[in-house]
């Protein structure tokens, strides 16, 4: 069943609205954002949002009757030499084209202009600044992550519980002395290895991020920085609700469906 009275917009018109708020120019140099597959002239009534364009997501978008798929992480990240059914990435692209579902990715442009502020608000940080400046002006810098003060000092153990509660997580991984008092918190959603250096340089007590390996965590602690690894997905699934509200507010004629929050792994 179609929503919003069967009102349609062309895919490229939706992209114009998205890129007015999250321009591709804000993306980091290594990234690949924008329309990755499909027709820019496709008539769209229903948009499906997800973090990743997995096989499961593509099939769910088709079953939901979606006319367009928007994800945070790009499906096409490295150059492809061919599009065939012999590779798992290109098989997904073939499916999207076969289903006539245009596919759009908004990654580090959203990280810089959306995710950082959203994470700061969720964790209720005060007196914030950009953690890692990547663009903008001297008066209004933009970049990855935020650094700010917690509403009150707490132990690292209390901070872990605080992060779990506000990000609605079942578990986190932590590097550092659990009795250490922390008050200056840096947050860098996603893969945060590169966030350790600016967090240390700017005097953060603790960094909340994802994808921190053994040596990354140990090295951070040696430099006086505790790390709460809340997971890549655990720090970025907040994209779903945020973009759903954005599209519903900017384009009320569209029907917008967000993929259910399903963490990609389990801790037993």
Q: Residues at the annotated binding site for a divalent metal cation?
A: 72-73, 111, 232, 236
Please give the annotated binding residues, written as ranges: 72-73, 111, 232, 236
Strands 173-175 and 226-229, by their bridges, are: antiparallel
Give which of 68, 63, 95, 66 is closest to 11, Cα–Cα.
68
Helix axes 55-63, 88-98, angle to 10 degrees: 10
Strand partners, 47: 68, 256
Q: Which two tokens stand for residue 107?
A: 């990654």
Q: Which two tokens stand for residue 201?
A: 């340089």
Give which of 259, 200, 206 is closest to 233, Cα–Cα.
259
Q: Which residue has the tokens 């917009």?
A: 9
Long-range contacts of 76-81 (CB under 8 A, 24+ apart): 76/32, 76/36, 76/37, 76/105, 77/32
- Rounded Cα distance between 53 and 104, Å, is 10
Instruction: Quote the Cα angle for 99-105-108, to 5°.
Output: 170
> What values do phi and psi take at 211, rounded to 5?
60, 40
In the chain, which residue ranges form alpha helices assigned H by DSSP?
11-21, 55-63, 88-98, 108-110, 116-122, 156-167, 196-201, 214-222, 232-236, 238-250
């Amino acid at each position: 069943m179609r929503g919003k009275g069967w009102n349609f917009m062309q895919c490229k018109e939706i992209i114009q609205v998205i890129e007015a708020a999250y321009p591709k120019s804000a993306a980091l140099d290594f990234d690949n954002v924008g329309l990755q597959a499909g027709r820019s002239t496709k008539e769209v009534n229903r948009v499906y949002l997800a973090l990743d364009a997995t096989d499961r997501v593509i099939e769910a978008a088709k079953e939901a009757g979606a006319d367009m798929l928007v994800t945070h992480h790009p499906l096409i990240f490295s150059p492809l030499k061919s599009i065939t059914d012999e590779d798992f990435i290109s098989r997904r692209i073939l499916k999207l084209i076969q289903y006539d579902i245009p596919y759009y990715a908004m990654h580090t442009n959203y990280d810089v202009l959306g995710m950082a502020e959203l994470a700061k608000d969720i964790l209720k940080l005060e007196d914030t600044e950009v953690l890692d400046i990547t663009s903008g002006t001297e008066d209004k810098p933009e970049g990855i992550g935020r650094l700010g003060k917690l509403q009150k000092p707490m132990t690292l153990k209390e901070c872990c519980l605080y992060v779990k509660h506000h990000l609605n997580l079942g578990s986190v991984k932590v590097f550092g002395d659990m009795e250490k008092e922390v008050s200056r918190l840096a947050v860098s959603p996603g893969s945060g290895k590169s966030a350790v250096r600016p967090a240390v340089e700017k005097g953060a007590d603790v960094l909340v991020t994802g994808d921190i390996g053994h040596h990354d965590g140990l090295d951070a602690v040696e430099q006086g920085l505790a790390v709460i690894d809340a997971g890549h997905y655990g720090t970025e699934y907040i994209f779903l609700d945020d973009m759903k509200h954005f599209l519903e507010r900017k384009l009320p004629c569209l029907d917008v469906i967000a993929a259910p929050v399903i963490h990609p792994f389990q801790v037993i």
